[in-house]
């Protein structure tokens, strides 16, 4: 498992500490706000993002909590996986286990944005006794396969490697099998291709060029939000800066679960669930709602009943970072419901 390597106070407004958790391949980086004795909340960022995605939201949340935002492996300030090892979705779930074990958290709240919400959702199904509240920001807790080709602004970066396009009425079981096999083949071939190419040093970019490239790939980000993510997503070097993310993350290997499987799995969740969907986010278009968003929301509602809350807000996929005040009040009210677990550090 993991061990806590470092807890150091930093002179940043509203932030208590930077932390590192030892893992077999290096470390998982994290940052903490609030009192170590406060009620524990673990925050999980989206694909290709980092812990800074919560920089503007957490200062608006209740002060008597311990908020821990971690960088997934290959993201932010966390170590890259060893050569020859791809990034699997369940690896991110296991990283949550490693971090919470090192913190000795036996019961806590999970808050995830986008991919982080899917990780949080799966963790809550596998380890239901550990999660008392689940907050999904621009996430349905799962991203079932087959995935549509158009994932919305900012997520087209996945290059469709594991996003087979279903027909409008959905593929047959035979088509699903073929698409699943084809997507896995492309992931493997892409990873091997990366390894075969002679390793090149990371490209050095000027700060402005690095920012513009990030904004072009994420049309939902404001310039200010882009700068916040870049602070942790890039490292200053002579002549400019280089991105921190592992290129292998671009071939992110999402385990393909069907909508039916996701609907069955969520029955295991013991936590109260808050799902926040932005009106101009990536899960709002009607064609997506017809495929899995509405069915998943209905499954949450029918199985969790009073434990499920759905909130639709103005804003886009990065509403929590661009306009945190839009979601802060909803999250505050949700957190303040009966909760007795404390962080033990």
Q: Is 114 a catalytic residue?
A: yes
Among candidates 106, 105, 78, which has minimal Cα distance to 92? 78
Q: Which residue among 2, 78, 114, 263 is the active-site one?
A: 114
| Side-chain half-sphere CA neighbours of 137 within 13 A | 29
Contact predicate 47/158, CB 8 Å: yes
**Kind of pairing between the strands at 272-280 and 131-137:** parallel
In sequence order, what are the residues at sequence separation of 6 or more whose Cβ sits closer than 8 angstroms to the Cβ of residue 270?
A: 124, 128, 129, 131, 132
Residues 6+ apart with CB under 8 A from 257: 142, 144, 145, 265
Written as six digits, the tokens of 338 are 């009966």
Count other C-beta atoms under 10 Å from residue 187's C-beta. Answer: 19
Distance, in Å, from the CA atom of 214 to the CA atom of 82, rounded to the nearest integer, reads 26
Tell me if 18 sits within 8 A of 29, measured CB to CB.
yes
Q: Cα angle at 71 between 75 and 14, to 5 degrees?
A: 130
- Judge whether 7 and 31 are in contact, CB under 8 Å: no
Q: Which residues are catalytic?
A: 114
């Amino acid at each position: 498992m993991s061990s806590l390597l470092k807890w150091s106070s930093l002179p940043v407004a509203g932030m208590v500490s930077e932390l590192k958790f030892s893992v077999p391949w290096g470390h998982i980086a994290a940052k903490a706000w609030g009192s170590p004795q406060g009620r524990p909340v673990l925050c999980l960022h989206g694909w290709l993002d980092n812990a800074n995605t919560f920089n503007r939201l957490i200062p608006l949340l209740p002060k008597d909590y311990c908020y821990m935002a971690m960088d997934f492996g290959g993201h932010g300030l966390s170590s890259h996986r060893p050569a020859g090892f791809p990034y699997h979705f369940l690896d991110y779930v296991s990283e949550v286990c490693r971090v919470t074990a090192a913190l000795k958290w036996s019961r806590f709240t999970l808050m995830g944005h986008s991919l982080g919400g899917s990780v949080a959702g799966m963790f809550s199904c596998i380890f239901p006794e550990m999660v008392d509240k689940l907050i999904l920001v621009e996430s349905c807790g799962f991203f079932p396969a087959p995935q549509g080709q158009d994932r919305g602004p900012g997520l087209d970066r996945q290059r469709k490697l594991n996003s087979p396009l279903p027909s409008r009425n959905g593929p047959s079981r035979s088509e699903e099998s073929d698409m699943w096999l084809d997507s896995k083949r492309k992931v493997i071939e892409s990873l091997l291709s990366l390894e075969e190419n002679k390793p090149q040093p990371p490209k050095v970019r000027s700060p402005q060029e690095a920012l513009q490239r990030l904004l072009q790939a994420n049309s939902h980000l404001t310039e200010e939000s882009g700068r916040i993510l870049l602070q942790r997503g890039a490292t200053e070097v002579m002549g400019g800066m280089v991105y921190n993310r592992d290129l292998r993350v671009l071939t992110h290997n999402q385990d393909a679960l069907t909508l039916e499987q996701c609907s069955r799995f969520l029955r295991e969740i013991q936590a109260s669930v808050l799902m926040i969907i932005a009106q101009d986010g990536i899960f709002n278009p009607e064609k997506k709602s017809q495929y899995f968003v509405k069915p998943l929301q209905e499954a949450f509602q029918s199985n969790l009943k009073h434990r499920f809350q759905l909130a639709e807000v103005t804003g886009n996929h990065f509403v929590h970072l661009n306009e945190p005040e839009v979601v802060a009040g909803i999250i505050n009210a949700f957190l303040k419901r009966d909760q007795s677990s404390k962080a033990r550090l």
